[in-house]
Amino acid sequence: MSETVLVTGGAGFIGRFVCDELLRRGNTVRVLDALIPQVHGDGGRPEQLAEDVELIHADVRDGDAVARALSGVDSVIHLAAEVGVGQSMYEVERYTSVNDVGTAVLFERLIDNPVRRVVTASSMSIYGEGLYRDADGAIVENAERGIVRDGQANWEPVDAQGRPLTPMATPEWKRPSLASIYALNKYVQERTTHIMGAPYGIESVCLRLFNVYGPGQALSNPYTGVLAIFAARLLNGQRPMIFEDGEQRRDFVHVTDVARAFADALVDGKAVGKTFNIGSGNDRSVTQVAEALARAMGKNDTAPEIVGKARIGDIRHCFCDTTLAAEALGFTAQQDFIEGLAELAEWVGRQTAQDNVAHARAELEKRGLVA
């Protein structure tokens, strides 16, 4: 089934791969994107955006532009968002405006320009801490942690008796624990999509993305994905900067797998009305990831810098339970992580990037957001 698909935020890192996948499947693709400088530099059309994609340079909060973009469209993939946990904690108005108000504007215009289906990008950040098991084997959904106990840094969540909790893969049924403004924004986007879809005859699907990586990320944006941040540091001869002790665990999923998940979610009948985790199903420590990327970039002697401090809003462990996506959406990640890192390293080697990580850390510290 070929359609005309609007991809909001489609000129961004994930969006460009989504557009490529949609084109490969025979769709006509239109993009609405504000091309903000933090992501796109000079704001011109990205070279990586396929020539066959129609680009409308406009803000998702511009109702008239959104209405024009929806004209003749059959379905929508909604990616437009400000991204980054740390920055969301001090640029609260901008994040909430773009993410929540922008989504509201989109769905308000969809009332008069209905489409068959909307697939919205959400985030694993809505979980807060992932799922855990306590020493007695009981499931713990609401794990929390203190940063310092008895004068020692203790990064791991514990139960009421002070016993360590064991992290588990996090499924969709875990209750949200919104630890940052960004997480709150993404949950609002999810709920807006499902609440507004059914009354207006629009099928709704949401995808909770885990840590997406691959070539094409904005290397000079210090609030982008952690692998792109590490790559920019290594490219500039700097050590990757890791908060806490580096043993926090995440799930890294390649952008081509994510693009395939969006294209599948746009057409799969079993996806309607559901929210899915999209990850690889494999967890790694942040230190392991930094070291693997350094090796892939030929920087074997560049050990990561372990900061030993925590950012407000960060969580300890969260990695993906992929069961529901496999059963209902037929989605399983295919890209091997080490091969994906080699591809990323090859691409990074051809780029130039400004290392803005120290500036971003200073912005957090002066606002008391680093403990």
DSSP state of 265: H
Q: Which residue in the list 95, 127, 132, 182 is annotated as catalytic?
A: 182
What is the β-pairing status of strands 275-278 and 305-306? unpaired
How far, in Å, CA of 61 to CA of 64, rounded? 9
Q: Assess contact for 316 and 145: CB atoms under 8 A.
A: yes
Q: Among all chains, which residue has been given the structure tokens 């890294």?
A: 252
Is residue 19 helix, strand or coil? helix
The encoded tokens of residue 130 equal 């992932």
Sheet holding 283-285, edge to edge: 211-213, 249-254, 283-285
How far, in Å, CA of 95 to CA of 91, rounded? 6
CA-CA-CA-CA torsion for 98, 351, 294, 126, nearest 10 degrees? 10
Which CB contacts under 8 angstroms, 24+ apart, belong to 219-222? Answer: 219/348, 219/351, 219/353, 220/41, 220/353, 220/354, 220/355, 220/356, 221/38, 221/39, 221/356, 222/356, 222/357, 222/359, 222/360
What is the β-pairing status of strands 166-167 and 132-133? antiparallel
Which residues lie below 8 Å from residue 149, measured CB to CB, with a gap of 6+? none
The encoded tokens of residue 122 equal 């959400």
Indicate if 182 belongs to the active site.
yes
Q: Which residues have a catalytic role annotated? A: 182
